[in-house]
Structure 1
Amino acid sequence: MPTELEELVGFLPSPNPQIRQLALEHLVGYSVPPHNTVFMTDGLKPIKHLKVLVNDAAARAKNALTILVNLSESPEVQKTLVEDDKFLELLMTEITDTTYPNADQVAMLLANISQSPVFLKFAMAKRKAPEGFKSELVIDQLMDCFVKGAEGTLNKDANFDYLSYVFANLTSQDSGRRHLVKRQEYDGVIPIEKLVVFTEHKSDVRRKGVASTIKNCCFDVDSHPMLLDPDGVNILPYLLLPMMGGEEYSDEDTEGMPEDLQLLPPDKERDSDNSIIVTHLESILLLTTTREGRDFMRGSKVYPIIRETHLALGENDDVEVACDRVVQVIMRKEAGEGEGEVAPEDERAIVEVL
């Protein structure tokens, strides 16, 4: 005898929309452990039904998407979703539709399934550019949704914040990060340049995803000069500003400090999420991989800012460790600057540490 939950799952493909609606409404709460195994039966047939329902009426599609978001934490479910090109195309059709009411649920689902390395192939593939989009690349269309859609300006029902996790996942692979640090022909902009402006955004999700994306891009050592160039991406102020409060610095400390970081108001607040500050510190550490990067940090007076961050947040073990690692690198003497000081044979060893 099937259980009540199994009977509800069996109603998902019902031709009666009211029955589908009732089934979905009741099943949302059971899409998390320990009850979610009911969706993993019969060769994942319930997942196949849910994929179809994503294209149902908006209210039913929202519930189907919510269930899939919860279930896609499972590698097995993630795999069956990410390997279905037709389903991925459906998700792209929906998220780039500026009138689609469930775009944020689609963004959440993409954030989960993009954890699979397989998703990168789809992200770098071409599809017809929807109305209002210029690039045929999936990754560029997602970037435009994320950047133009902040604050509900592209779609009144969506903010696209969770796409920041998609970019973080994509940049965990070489080709993904290379795309974000290369100027794109369709708009003449380096994608990472569009993201850094969100390091102090009000959304915790957006800030966290962007911070991780930036860190991943910093693993591309060859792009460091462009990232640090004040006339290029000028990434340093965007990494330092979130960890700064309203401290006053001496003239000696501020000489050489980026102008955007000087004379901050006394009520300036640090990022409330210490994990984001740690991620920014790790990005800074990566940017010190080369001698040029370390010299740039010294000339930009990074040390006084790290010092004040440590004083304010040093009780947090992760922040303390991250601060100490940066200080040890930028304050050490380089080869030839002090007796007994030897520079590491491989300046890129920092990349391997992180």
Structure 2
Amino acid sequence: MATTELEELVEFVSAANIEVRKMAVSIVQGLTGSEEGLRKLGYVAGDLIPSLLRRLYDEAAIAELAASTLVNLSQNPRLAGRMVKLGAIDKAMELIAQAEFPRRGHLVLLLTNLTQSEDGAAQLLQIDQPKLEGLHLCRLVELFVSTSSSPSSSAENGRGAADVDAWDHATWVLVNVTRLEKGRRLVLERRESLLKPLLQRIWPPPSSSPSLPSSLFSSSCSFSVRRQGIARVIRNCCFEVERQLDAILDLWEWLLPVLLVPLAGCKGYSEEEVSKMPAAVGAALKLAQVKEKDVEVQVAAAESLLLIGTQQGGRKALWAANVPVILQRGYEEEEDPQVLEALEKLGTLFVAGNGDGGGEEEDRGEEEGGCIPPFPSSPH
């Protein structure tokens, strides 16, 4: 298709006739399905992208096509950057809050692509709007936790399974924005931490859900994509541990089970061992009898614990929860070399000191206060 033909096609995207608009957007969407098509559309992106953004407010069928087309175009970093400059994130957040918008999941995928850049992440955080800062983020978390990965429940709420599955990727928007220091602080510093509702999607405290199924911790369950995203969000937030340790420890009842269960193995613990753990951790380990298979979740969990343990207060909290024993058990059962390496790095925290949360300055030559021995080097 020649450039002049593409220019005519772009004009039809804004045609007065609904059917003409719909056909034009459909053709553009088809072109985005190939690298060659994306390359050609790049030549007319200056006019095409604003037209497609306006079509998001069109009738349902056209709006859905426009959203899908923008998702495909946003895979190109240059085109994604153009969308960010045109305010695509604000428009997506405006429409995503409208339950009647067709396939809101497309908007989630669009946000995922647009926030991969620092400018896009900053725009979602509304860093340049002090009075509105964090509003989009709060709204996104609220919408995310209100969705379900169950096809049956999605049907009851008028949403297709594919649309609900797309919401799983909302966690990756949160991963993108928490790469920025401002994003991490907005998640942790709010009066009601935004991390808490995410953790509750994985593990409510025992008092509220004593019969939580162990499948929730399994990589085969429908929460797999969400768990990977949440694990990375936690890891990103833990980079603020030096300034935000108190905020992290305020979430300990929810956070610790989420981090320990993927690393704890599946052979079970004695009543005596469980009695030395926080109630939430003991209850979680009793339920989680399936070996964690998601290496990404395991590594992120180990890295999060390692970051927490770099602070003396964090090490004390880990010792108090009997974490060294739990990790030693998990290490003995683990086979994946990436996870083993992450556990070995984490194990050095407990080799370095004793139960009072000692640090690197302490004598490594002695094992004091019940300090566990170094995790052995992996043979794998």
Q: Same fold (TM over 0.5)?
A: yes
Unmatched segments (≥5 aa) in structure 2: 203-215, 367-380
Q: 5 Å matches for 1:1-354?
A: 2=2, 6=6, 11-35=12-36, 36-42=38-44, 44-85=46-87, 87-119=88-120, 120-124=122-126, 137-151=135-149, 156-157=158-159, 158-159=163-164, 160-184=167-191, 189-199=192-202, 200=216, 202-221=222-241, 222-229=243-250, 234-250=254-270, 253-262=273-282, 264-265=285-286, 268-314=289-335, 316-333=336-353, 334=358, 338=363
Deviation at 1:18, TM superposition (A): 2.5
> Which residue identity does 2:173 align to in structure 1?
V
Unmatched segments (≥5 aa) in structure 1: 130-134, 342-354
> Which residue identity does 1:236 align to in structure 2?
L
TM-score normalised to structure 1 length:
0.80
User: Hey, what's the Cα distance between the residues in 2 that align with 1:247 and 1:59?
Assistant: 52
Q: Equivalent residue of 2:244, what SS?
A: helix
Deviation at 1:170, TM superposition (A): 1.3
Q: Equivalent residue of 1:287, what SS?
A: helix
Q: Give yes or no for contact 1:12–1:24 (8 Å, CA) kept in 2.
A: yes
Deviation at 1:218, TM superposition (A): 0.5
Deviation at 1:155, TM superposition (A): 5.8
Deviation at 1:308, TM superposition (A): 3.6
Q: Summarize the Cα distance change of 1:81–1:331 in structure 2 as closer, same or farther, 3 Å threshold.
A: same
Q: Summarize the Cα distance change of 1:9–1:42 in structure 2 as closer, same or farther, 3 Å threshold.
A: closer
User: Hey, what's the Cα distance between the residues in 1 that align with 2:70 and 2:305?
Assistant: 36
Deviation at 1:161, TM superposition (A): 2.4
User: Hey, what's the Cα distance between the residues in 1 that align with 2:287 and 2:255?
Assistant: 24
Identity of aligned residues (%): 27
User: CA deviation digits over 1:187-211, x for unaligned, max 9?
Assistant: xx21111111234573222212211
Give RMSD over aligned pairs: 3.3
> Which residue identity does 1:52 align to in structure 2?
R
User: Hey, what's the Cα distance between the residues in 2 that align with 1:149 and 1:106?
Assistant: 14
Instruction: Count how many residue pairs are aligned between Structure 1 and Structure 2.
Output: 329
TM-score normalised to structure 2 length:
0.75
> Which residue identity does 2:94 align to in structure 1?
T
Q: Summarize the Cα distance change of 1:18–1:268 in structure 2 as closer, same or farther, 3 Å threshold.
A: farther
Deviation at 1:103, TM superposition (A): 1.2
Give 1 or 2: higher helix fraction: 2
User: Hey, what's the Cα distance between the residues in 1 that align with 2:339 and 2:5?
Assistant: 46
Deviation at 1:141, TM superposition (A): 1.6
Match of 1:347 in 2: none
User: Hey, what's the Cα distance between the residues in 2 that align with 1:5 and 1:161?
Assistant: 38
Q: Give yes or no for contact 2:115–2:176 (8 Å, CA) kept in 1.
A: yes
> Which residue identity does 1:112 align to in structure 2?
N
Q: Summarize the Cα distance change of 1:4–1:270 in structure 2 as closer, same or farther, 3 Å threshold.
A: farther
